[in-house]
Amino acid sequence: MQNRFRQYVDKTGKALIRDAIRCLQVNMGYLDNLHFRRCHGGVPMKMMGLAVMQDCLKFVDNAGKIAVDIFGESSTLNPNLPILIKILRQIKSVKQIMLRVNLDIIENSEYRHLPEFLAKNNVEIIASMPFYKETNLTDRQRFFRKIEVLKQLNSIGYGTKKSNLKLNLVYRPLGAFLPVQGNLEAVYRENLGNDYGIIFDDFFAIPNMPIDRFRAFLTQKGLLNSYMNLLIRNFDVAKLDKVMCREQINVDWRGRLFACCFNQMVRLPAVTFKPIGKIRPEDLLGLSIETDDHCFGCTAGAVCRGSSSYSWMNPENKKVAPVNCRQFDEYNVLQSTVNLRKYKSYCERLCGSCRQSRGC
């Protein structure tokens, strides 16, 4: 199958290789709590065991200064998570521990202790927040559950600037278009602050990659080609020097290595087929990074001002643009549409800077 992204990279004359290992992404498992109990019954979850976890710890210990990004749909459900975090905190070369948290899970009585544990071990929280207010597009009950958890996190110091406890929010579009980092961040801060008293550290607007469920959605609606063309039109060669796959490696629950979590989702392994327990960090340097067409999502110029994969690792790349669109609420309601022509027509009624930043 033709790899258009590789062709674009080759035309730039730039080599897309791994320059360093500054972050290890650890996927603790695949199934989330919502789907597990409802759909999977007694089927065991695919969770990282202690043996692979020990291999990850050995890799981290040999890597020098490094950040560890813990993710996976069931990361907080893995009973070994506290063990991993406690040992990581004891390794002096670990400069940052990040955990992608499902806010719905913390509301479960079984996991209400988690915020205090994470705070005690200075774990940075990264949480998805699909919207900043209740609308007819949101699940009312789930929205207010997230709000209550964010309030709880603020109450113990997360996101308040009074401590080193960082709380970062992540937004992904509801439709087939590119998000606007600066505009969204300002509106999130204003609305969550004024309406609910919630504050946070960083905000990251990340595009939907044309893979997995989102690709199935695009295909079903006949939007796959349109969305891919949108990403390709916004290809920014400058982003090739900043994408995070240049300085990270990803490991799944079995110990298999990938360039990033997106490559893991499409089962595109790293050049080396050795598991994490049989490779040294320095062995990964200078190797070519595996790509496919979904990688256009990380180089779309309207998206990220740095790495769209893990922008929170490069806060200096994030620039906040002024809010210059009075129709912002209408835009957010419209973003759920599956009609790109209607969306483009709407953008054309906005000011030039908004239209340009949205990649219309």
At 240-285, the pLDDT tens digits run 998 989 999 999 999 999 999 999 999 999 977 789 999 999 999 9
CA distances from 221 to 76, 177, 197, 213, 359 (A): 33, 14, 38, 12, 20
User: How many structural domains does the chain have?
Assistant: 1
134 versus 239: which is more confidently predicted? 239
Which CATH number do you get for residue 163?
3.20.20
3-12, 108-117, 231-240, 301-310: range with lowest mean pLDDT: 301-310
Share of the chain above pLDDT 70, in %: 78
117-121, 132-136, 246-250, 301-305: range with lowest mean pLDDT: 301-305
Say which residues have a Cβ less than 8 Å from residue 196's Cβ, sequence separation at least 6.
147, 150, 151
306 pLDDT band (50/70/90 cuts)? Answer: very low
Please, which residues bridge with residue 203 across strands?
Answer: 169
Distance CA 348, CA 350 (A): 5
The arithmetic mean of pLDDT across residues 279-298, rounded, is 94
For position 138, what pLDDT does the model report?
A: 58
231 versus 332: which is more confidently predicted? 231
- Does the reported pTM lie above 0.95? no
The arithmetic mean of pLDDT across residues 217-239, rounded, is 93
- Host domain of residue 194: 4-357
Residues 98, 126 contacting (CB under 8 angstroms): yes
For position 12, what pLDDT does the model report?
A: 93
Q: Which long-range contacts (CB under 8 A, 24 or more apart) does 329-335 make?
A: 332/131, 332/135, 333/135, 333/137, 335/173, 335/174, 335/175, 335/177
pLDDT over 70 at 89, yes or no: yes
pLDDT over 60 at 324, yes or no: no
The arithmetic mean of pLDDT across residues 198-210, rounded, is 92
Residues 244, 310 contacting (CB under 8 angstroms): yes
pLDDT digits (tens, 9 = 90+) for 21-40: 999 999 998 764 444 443 33
In terms of Cα–Cα distance, which of 296, 319, 274, 335 is closest to 135?
Answer: 335
Share of the chain above pLDDT 90, in %: 58
Mean pLDDT of all residues belonging to the chain: 81
For position 91, what pLDDT does the model report?
A: 97
